[in-house]
Amino acid sequence: MQSWIAAIESALKGNLPLVIGYVLLALVALQALLMVYARFRRLAAERRARELSHRRLELMVQTAMIQHQEAEQSKLVWNGYRKFTVAQKVCECEDVFSFYLKPHDGKPLPPFKPGQYLTFSLSLPGQSKPLVRCYSLSDCARTDHYRVTIKRALPPPDAPDGKPGLVSSYFCDAVKQGDILDVKAPGGHFYLDLDKERPVVLISGGVGVTPMVSMLNAIVASGSKREVWFFFGARNRADHILKEYMEKMAAQHDNVRLHVCYSRPGPDDVLGRDYQHAGRVTVDLMKQLLPSNNYDYFLCGPGAFMKSITDDLAAWGVPDANVFFEAFGPATVKKAAPKAPTHEVPTAKIDVTFSRSGKTVPWRSEITSLLDLADESGVSIEAGCRAGNCGSCLVAIKSGGVEYVTTAGATPEDGSCLVCICKPKGNLVLDA
C-alpha cells in the first residue's frame, strides 16, 4: 500500500504543472457550465414570465371585449313593450304558422338564450283589455328578426265542443304580414347553456318543439359537435311541425340523432321516411336507444306528456338537476306530493279578498292557484304564461301571505305575488 502511495507522489512531483492545469481547466469548464445553466434558467424564467404576461393581457382584452359586448347588448334590451312588424307569415302545417318579426324602428335586436320566449300584448276585437300571451322563440338569435311558431290551441279531447284558443286563433286567422304587434324582450329561465359541451336530449310533443328547435339551431350555428338526441312526437305527418327542417338538420350534422314518433300514422305516412317509431315518445324508447342516462334532458309539450316523461326519467335514475322543462298554461309539471295523513286534519277557513273588485270569497283546497280563484269569481287579472314565467299576473298583497306551488321564473317584487302559481297561507287581501 505504501509503495502505491509513493508511486503516486512521485508521479505528481514530475507532472504537477500538468495536473494543476487540468484542474484549472476543469474549474473553468465547471464555472462556464454553471453560467450557461444559470443563463438558461434565467431565460426560461423570463420566457415563462412573458408567456404569463401575454396570457394575462389576452385575458384582460377578452374580458374587456366581453364586457363591451355585454354593455352594447344591454343597450339593445328594452323595457315594456316594443313595436314589431310581421315581416313574414309562413304556414308550417295544419293550424301552425311561423311569424318573422322585425323591430319597427329598424334597430338591432339583443340576443337571447335558446329556449326563451316572447311576451305579446294583443288588443282583440270584443275584448275590454289587451290579452297577454307568451310564445317560445323557434330560432336561434338573429340581429334583425325574431321568429315564433304558433299552433291554434284546440279544445281538449274531453270537451270537444269547447272553443279553440282565443289568442292562438287570432294569430292563425287574423295576424298578417305588415301588422304591428307589441312585444316584450325575450325572457324565461328555461334555456340551453351554450358554454357547456354536455350531451343533451331534446324531448317535445306538438308545438312544444319550438324551443327545442331554437336549441338545436343554436348548437348547430355555434359549430359545436355536442351530442344531440332529438325526440319529437306528433299524431301524423299533418301535425309534423317543421318536418323538412328536422330532416335537414339530421342529414347534415353527424352529432344530431332524430327520432320522430307518430301516435296515429296516416295511410300515406311511411315508417322510416316520415317517422322512425310508431307510438308515443317514451322513456322506454330512450332506454333502447341512448347509450346511458347520463345526459341533460330538455322537455316541452302538453302537461300530461311532460309529467309522464319526468316521472319515468326519475324512475330511471336521472337526477332532477339534469331535467329541465318549460310549461305554459295551467297544466304544469309538479313533483309527486307527499302522502296524505291517514286521518283527516281539519283546516281553518280562509278568505281571499279582492279589494278593488269588492269581493271576498272562501278558498278551497281543490283550487290550483289564486288566479284560478279570481277567474272563477269574475275578477279580471292580466295573465300570460300562467306558469310563473312572464310576470304578467303580479298583484300587490295588502295583507296576509302566500306560498308558491312551483318555482317562479319571474322574480316577484317584495309585497307582491304571482297569482298564477301561489296559494294563500291564511286570510289574504289582494289589490285586484
pLDDT at 4 over 60: no
Cell of 296: 341533460
pLDDT beyond 70 at 95:
yes
Q: What is the mean pLDDT of residues 27-51?
A: 84
- Give the pLDDT confidence score for residue 338 in this predicted structure: 41
Per-residue confidence (pLDDT) for residue 13, from 0 to 100: 59
Please tell me the predicted confidence (pLDDT) of residue 10.
61
Q: Which residue has the higher pLDDT, 208 or 410?
A: 208
pLDDT for the residue 80: 86
Give yes or no for a contact between 415 and 365, defined as CB atoms under 8 angstroms apart. no
Query: What is the Cα 122 distance to its own chain's centre?
Result: 26
Averaged pLDDT, 248-262: 96
Identify the H or E element spanning 67.
helix 2-76
Predicted model pTM: 0.74
Task: Give the separation between CA 55 and CA 267, rounded to whole angstroms.
Answer: 63
Cβ proximity of 409 and 190 under 8 Å: yes
For the chain, what is the mean pLDDT? Answer: 86
In this predicted structure, the answer to whether residue 242 has a pLDDT above a threshold of 70 is yes
User: Is the pLDDT reported for residue 340 higher than 80?
Assistant: no
Least confident span in 6-15, 22-31, 75-84: 6-15
What's the CA gap between 129 and 382, in Å, rounded?
9
DSSP state of 391: -
**3-state class of 323 per DSSP?**
strand
Reported as a single tens digit per residue, the pLDDT across 178-198 is 999 999 999 888 899 999 999
Question: Which pLDDT score is estimated for 105?
Answer: 94
CA distances (Å), origin 132, targets 98, 171, 209, 291, 391? 19, 13, 21, 43, 11
Q: Say yes or no to pLDDT of 341 above 60.
A: no
Encode pLDDT of 168-177 as tens digits.
999 999 999 9
Report the range of poorest mean pLDDT among 117-126, 202-211, 220-229, 337-346.
Answer: 337-346
Task: Give me the mean pLDDT over the 188-213 stretch.
Answer: 94
Residue 389 has pLDDT above 80, yes or no: no
Query: In whole angstroms, what separates CA 320 from the centre of its chain?
Result: 15
Helix axes 209-222, 243-252, angle to 10 degrees: 30
Say yes or no to pLDDT of 346 above 70. Answer: no
First to last CA, the chain: 116
Confidence of residue 337 (pLDDT cuts 50, 70, 90): very low
Residue 329 has pLDDT above 60, yes or no: no
Identify which of 156-170, 211-225, 334-348, 394-408 has the greatest average pLDDT: 211-225
Task: Tell me the average pLDDT across 253-267.
Answer: 96
Quote the percentage of the chain above a pLDDT of 70. Answer: 85
Three cell numbers written together for 285: 324508447
Identify the pLDDT of residue 157. Answer: 67
pLDDT at 177: 97
Classify residue 131 by its DSSP letter.
Answer: E
Mean pLDDT (whole number) for 34-59: 82
pLDDT, residue 335, reads 45
Is residue 356 scored above 60 in pLDDT?
yes
pLDDT at 64 over 90: no
Flag the least confident range among 30-39, 90-99, 342-351, 422-431. 342-351
